[in-house]
Structure 1
Amino acid sequence: MMDEAQAIHPPHDKAAARPTLEAWRSLALVTVGPILLAFLFCALALLIAGHDPLAYYLYVVERGVFSGQGLQQTLTRMAPLLLHAASLIIAFRAGIWNLGGDGQFLLGAVMAAALGPVLVTVAPDWITLIACMLLAMLVGALWSLVPALLRAYQGVNEIITTLMMTFLGTSFANVLVKLIFLDPATTVPQTRTLPVEDRLAWLPGTTISSGLFIGLAAVIIVHLVMTRTAFGLRLRIVGANPKAALHAGLSVSALTVIVFALSGGLAGLAGAVDIVGVFGNVRADWNPAYALAVVPLVFLARFNGWATIAFVFFYAVLDIGGESAARRIGVPQYFTLVLVATMFILLALAEWLDQQRRARQRS
């Protein structure tokens, strides 16, 4: 009996669990090295453009981390980014490319902005906030239904359909703001505004929206579900090998639709959290494009929830600091995306080179 137990649960070898020299070397070459190289390449780009890269990086870090107000803005900015990350982790681990997050986000935001100011006049704040978030999740899930059904039952590539639904969702959100949910009391085309006192509470003594905790909870729950539950295992099997999943008796079509609904619902929730937690309304032509910005972060984290939180914080620091640097130093605000994209390319190249090296060692 003891031998069988040891075979099933082998004794924990502390020495084997310690990081080896090879593991540290791989971490340096595949992760840390490409990130530092990306900073170097972008520093050269700043020099060529006539800007001081050291001043830019120092100002970004100082504003995004060490400034009290800047750090609060960074943590607040993380809330919708984390919800988008949770949305993408579910989809990517299941082998599905949901690139329609921005459309789902905007439609969820518009519906939350339309419902909130009306419902708060007849219902308590907590009911209003929950209703806005649930409605946004429902709208995001429904907006993902067309790509889901086309992928599940017709085999249509979801990259194309979700991108098309994003363009359509962005335009439809603007139509809703300008024609149906327009606030007649303002000259700027926007929805009615949810009063500040009726929005998600701030952390005591700060301006950090409690939506941050919703985002953190979403990423952690998604990570645990995908790595520790039978449902998550089914989704990973579908993503790794749909034919094997069918052979194992899994309903690939139904699971595909469920994944799209969960992913779209979380993207819609991100829109609601941004509105009922920060902005209070939606203006016409507003589109922060969080979803596509988060895609490389999720890949950099290798779909790991804990690592994703760290990368989202890193990006939020760059985003908030970059906004300030754009005003103070004159560096374009979208330079943050250039930096993240450069990291993604170099990390992908380093990963490929590392795989080639390992293949040569095995042969």
Structure 2
Amino acid sequence: MIGGSPSDGKLAYRLIGRLHPRRWLAPLLMSAGPMVVALLVTGVLLVMMGVNPLEYYGYIVRRGLLSPSGLQASLTRMGPLLLIAASLIAAFRAGLWNLGGDGQFLLGAVFASASAPALLAAGTPLWLTLLAASLVGAVIGGLWAVLPALLKAWQNINEIITTLMMSFLAISLSNLLIKNVFFDPGTTVPQTINLAYADRLPPLFDSHVSSGVLIGLFALLLVHWLMTRTALGLQLRVVGANPGAAIHAGLPVIGLTVLALALSASLAGLAGAVEVLGVQGSVRADWNPAYSLVVVPLVFLARLNGFGTLALVFIFSVLSIGSESAARRIGVPNHFTLVTVAVLLIVMALTERVAGRRREKKGG
């Protein structure tokens, strides 16, 4: 080979192969296609409601992305969503279904909201208070997943059922704590003691963007690296793919199962802490944004890839903030975004079914 060694030629060949359109075009279409179809279907629903879809989507883009206040709100909304996305990726890549994220989120928010004012009243420095309250939220969320993890590891009880049941219990327990233990006696509405704006997570660059978005971004990239580039991540994936093979390989299946679900739940609890310490300031009774189940299709649409999830979470945040404004100005229901997510789930399922049949035909 002229001007280089054979190994250089092989490396160049591999790089060219990775850049070939067939390597990246199909995954891109599998991710972007369902989203485009979902937007078209919801556009038809908007027409049936007497709303111009172009006006609606245009308003969402202007309010959620192009306006300075809307963009800042969208970036702030990303903080807890990124943490929940990291939580789901940690579980799904380990072959586990943690569908109790909403309960873990609420418990983390409640305990973080209760601990922060108490620590400040005891004279704890602000930075240490925020750090400790965030850790409290993460630990509480993680502990709430230990029982489903043990039931899965010891008795092979479906974690979908147990995490959902624990989520319902967590939501009820959160409301009970707010109304009877952590309530603010100075308010008429049942809620925890409000954290002053100056005592919350600091904003970024003299803006209104909560620094929680950086916490979420760091957690998402860290989980992506952990699950794809480390020996621990490989062990977790092996346990999720084939527990029997993992046992024969000498892997501690029970410990890894508990670790994966606890890590996932801890990130969901941290998401609740970030939301209350950075944005809400307090937790009201019966408050439940239900972020976890909304983020599930985004994570799957990104094929459990951290970078793809980051892009989709940003798009969803813009859509969410913009639709809240559209609900006031155009008259479209505020929860119409959930309709888009539901349609997206259906389209994703159909897309995966069609792709599966094509793979079966090729294999046959």
Pairwise same-fold verdict (TM > 0.5): yes
Between the aligned partners of 1:160 and 1:74, the Cα distance in structure 2 is 33
Q: What is the SS of the residue equivalent to 1:120?
A: helix
SS in 2 for 1:331: coil
Give the deviation of 1:32 after TM superposition.
2.9
1:288 equivalent to 2:289? Answer yes
Q: What is the TM-score of this pair, normalised by structure 2?
A: 0.94
TM-score of the aligned structures, taking structure 1 as reference length:
0.94
CA distance in 2, matches of 1:355, 1:148: 30
Secondary structure of the residue aligned to 1:302 is coil
1:334 to partner: Cα distance: 1.6
Distance in 2 (CA, whole Å) between partners of 1:200 and 1:280 is 10
2:88 partner letter: L
2:238 and 2:10 map into 1 onto residues whose CA distance is 25
For 1:287-306, what aligned pairs fall within 5 Å after superposition?
287-306=288-307
Matches of residues 258-269 of structure 1 in structure 2 within 5 Å?
Answer: 258-269=259-270
State the distance in 1 between where 2:202 and 2:6 align: 51
Q: CA deviation at 1:118?
A: 1.4
Q: For residues 33-72 of structure 1, what are the structure 2 equivalents within 5 Å?
A: 33-72=33-72
Q: Give the conservation status (yes or no) of the 8 Å contact 2:302–2:309.
A: yes
**How do 1:181-220 and structure 2 match up within 5 A?**
181-220=182-221
C-alpha distance after superposition, 1:69-127 (max 9, x if no partner): 00000000000000001111000001110111111110110001111111112111011
**Aligned residue for 1:310?**
311
Given the superposition, is the C-alpha separation of residues 72 and 354 from structure 1 closer, same or farther in structure 2, using an over 3 Å criterion? same
1:29–1:350 CA contact under 8 A, matched in 2: no
CA contact (8 A) 2:116 2:133 kept: yes
- 1:341 shift after superposition: 2.3
Q: Over aligned residues, Cα RMSD in angstroms?
A: 1.8
| In structure 1, C-alpha distance between the alignment counterparts of 2:74 and 2:83, rounded to whole Å | 15
Could you tell me which amino acid in structure 2 is paired with residue 41 of structure 1? V
Q: Report the counterpart of residue 101 of structure 2 in structure 1.
A: 101
Shift in alpha-carbon separation, 1:118–1:223, aligned structure 2, 3 A: same
Change (3 A) 1:180 1:70: same
How much has 1:54 moved relative to structure 2?
1.2
SS in 1 for 2:11: coil
1:72 alignment partner AA: Q
8 Å contact from structure 2 (residues 17, 23) kept in 1: no
Q: Distance in 1 between matches of 2:326 and 2:171?
A: 28
What are structure 2's unaligned runs of at least 5 residues? none
Question: Whole-Å Cα distance in 1 between the matches of residues 352 and 312 of structure 2?
Answer: 18
In the alignment, structure 1 segments of 5+ residues that lack a partner are: none
Q: C-alpha distance in 2, partners of 1:131/1:24?
A: 43
Distance of 1:331 and 1:314 partners within structure 2: 19
Identity among equivalent pairs (%):
55
C-alpha distance 25-311 of structure 1, shift in aligned 2 (>3 A): closer
Number of equivalent positions: 357
Q: One-letter code of the match for 2:94? A: A
